[in-house]
Amino acid sequence: MKAFALARYGKKNGVAVVERAVPELRDDDVLIQIHATSVNPLDLKIRNGELKPLLPYKLPIVLGNDLAGIVVKTGARVRRFTVGDAVYAKPSQDRIGSFAEYLAVDENDVARIPKTVTMNEAAALPLVGLTAWQALVDKAHLRPGQKVLIHAGSGGLGTIAIQLAKHLGATVATTTSTKNVKWVKALGADVVIDYKTQDFATELSGYDVVLDTQGGDTLEKSLQVVKPGGSVISVAGPPDPAFAREFGANWLLVQAMRALSFSVRRKARKRSVNYSFLFMTANGDQLRELATLVDGGAIRPVIDRVFPFDATLDALAYVENGRATGKVVITVTGDREQS
């Protein structure tokens, strides 16, 4: 099969098309013929070597963290799926590889695609949908009437998080550029901060939750808009010791993350704010919940551009440019776009 593999870390010339054997199945796996995948900032971080301490992959490794496709084979213990099922998934972090024609995935990480979407649309959902769910439902326990700030509302994660937060009954603020203000309002944002002309830290206050997708100064300023007892959940800031322990990191890595996050955790404590880092995990049950929301009209996938499989490197470069509104999708099978 054809795949795009990372042979060496770095921004230049580290990813290339290769020929690989079709993956072998474990007993709990389904083999999925991939019809579409999508690009995430996580793929770029892995490519650049930014996550080597957390994810010490043995190179070469096929990249890709989202997929939609058709089950073509099942393992001996698989009970949830049969050959021919249309499914979508975020594979577990030690088994990524959706920039390929086939991938074997544990059945517990897989769900049937929503009935109302195409393969391309389904492929745009898993990673960002799971991240939004695990941030707003699992960590924040967001409730009706609460106020949440979601940074970068026009991005892949932001577009889904806004819709999920509205479904949960929250008042939603977001940040975006001037050209996207009306667009994120149409997604459901109640308050929109144009970061080119406004400072969210002076415009907003008394928020229950912030979902930070930027890190750095944006993360530190986010602490100012949260009321005492509120939460800042970051997917871009420094990992904290609690995350390191949950991730199964060794003692040395736990201490390194303690040091990296010391400043933001101290500032959060001074404001009586809870800070936590989120690295989403694969979860087929949550994908089933998300599929129900999609079919019910509460969430819709947002796609910026679709690239053919041969142009996977162009898709990576487009996402790296940082101007995508919604997700960037790669159609792997070309003529098999299905609903």
Summarised one tens digit per residue, pLDDT across range 103-157 is 999 999 999 999 999 999 999 999 999 999 999 999 999 999 999 999 999 999 9
Average pLDDT, the chain: 95
pLDDT bin (cut points 50, 70, 90) of residue 244 is confident
pLDDT at residue number 339:
34
Report the pLDDT value the prediction gives residue 322, as an integer from 0 to 100.
Answer: 84
What band does 336 get if pLDDT is binned at 50, 70 and 90?
very low
User: Distance from CA of residue 328 to its chain's centroid?
Assistant: 12
pLDDT at 252: 87
Q: What is the reported pTM?
A: 0.96
Categorize the per-residue pLDDT at 13 as very low, low, confident or very high, splitting at 50, 70 and 90.
confident
Q: Which position has the higher pLDDT, 214 or 339?
A: 214
**Model confidence at 180, in pLDDT bands (50, 70, 90)?**
very high
* pLDDT tops 90 at residue 250: no
Please report the pLDDT score of residue 259 as a whole number: 93
Query: Is 90 exceeded by the pLDDT of residue 209?
Result: yes
- Quick one: pLDDT at residue 338? 38
| 270-327: pLDDT as tens digits | 999 999 999 999 999 999 999 999 999 999 999 999 999 999 999 999 999 987 899 9
Residue 334: pLDDT over 80: no
Give domain limits for the chain: 2-125+301-331, 128-277
2-125+301-331 domain in CATH 3.90.180.10? yes
State the average pLDDT over residues 60-84.
98
Per cent of the chain over pLDDT 90 is: 89
More confident residue, 222 or 336: 222
Provide the CATH topology of domain 128-277: Rossmann fold (3.40.50)
Say whether pLDDT at 268 is over 80. yes
Q: Look at residue 25 in the predicted model and tell me its pLDDT.
A: 97
